Amino acid sequence: MTVKDNSVDERDLEILEVLESDARIPWRQLAQKLGVSEATVYLRVKKLQDLGVIRGYTVRLDLDKLGIKARAIVRIKTKPGYTAEVARVLSLHPQVIEAYEVTGSYNIIAFVIAPTLEDAARVVDEIASIDKVADVETIFVLRVIKESEGAVKVARLGRE
């Protein structure tokens, strides 16, 4: 299997699903779980990395246990023509952990984390004071219901 083969098949999705839930699983154990050789797992994972499907490996953190008690979703309306500039500024802010350019009445949605609500409010004030920001709307998260995982299941939906 070479990098030229840029299709992701069902076996690749099986590997990705296991890695999505436990990226630290040893190749041998992953191979046994899927009934394939370690070489097959290695080559397929290498292909997925080379294609950019796997962009890296990370850990999922319990923010509460790290003392991060505040989460906010900030909708940001930029002045016309300045979305890219505001996006660049947001991408450099350490407490903005995700940001997306979106459609609708606001141009950007940013996810902010902070130790306290007061700290989060300060970050929102910083965002609102960016010169090219016209308006912000903040939604504070009360309770986490579900966090990231399950992209492979969604990828499979598009194949059915």
Which residue, chain included where needed, has tokens 């950019």? Answer: 52
Asked if residue 4 has pLDDT above 60, the reply is no
**Residue, of 56 and 148, whose pLDDT is higher:** 56
150: left (phi over 0), alpha (psi -120 to 50) or beta: left
Which residue, chain included where needed, has tokens 């899927």? Answer: 34
**Residue, of 133 and 62, whose pLDDT is higher:** 133
Which residue, chain included where needed, has tokens 């080559």? Answer: 43
pLDDT of amino acid 7: 85
Query: What is the band of 148 on the pLDDT scale with cuts at 50, 70, 90?
Result: confident
CA gap 12, 19 in Å, rounded: 10
Cβ neighbors of 137 (< 8 A, separation 6 or more) are 74, 75, 106
pLDDT digits (tens, 9 = 90+) for 79-91: 999 999 999 999 9
CB 85 within 8 A of CB 132: yes
User: 3-class DSSP state for residue 111?
Assistant: strand
Instruction: Provide, rounded to the nearest whole percent, the portion of the chain with pLDDT above 90.
Output: 74
Q: What is the model's pTM?
A: 0.80
| φ, ψ for residue 31, nearest 5 deg | -60, -45
CA gap 8, 26 in Å, rounded: 21
User: What pairs with residue 96 in β-bridges?
Assistant: 112
Q: Choose the CATH number for 64-140 among 3.30.70.920, 3.40.50.170, 3.40.190.10, 2.40.70.10.
A: 3.30.70.920
User: What pairs with residue 101 in β-bridges?
Assistant: 108
Query: What is the band of 58 on the pLDDT scale with cuts at 50, 70, 90?
Result: confident
Domain ranges of the chain: 1-60, 64-140
Query: What is the band of 1 on the pLDDT scale with cuts at 50, 70, 90?
Result: very low
* Segment 39-55 mean pLDDT: 94
Q: Choose the CATH number for 1-60 among 1.10.540.10, 1.10.10.10, 3.40.50.10680, 3.40.50.970.
A: 1.10.10.10
Query: What is the band of 160 on the pLDDT scale with cuts at 50, 70, 90?
Result: low
Least confident of 6-10, 25-29, 75-79, 115-119: 6-10
Average of per-residue pLDDT values in the chain? 91
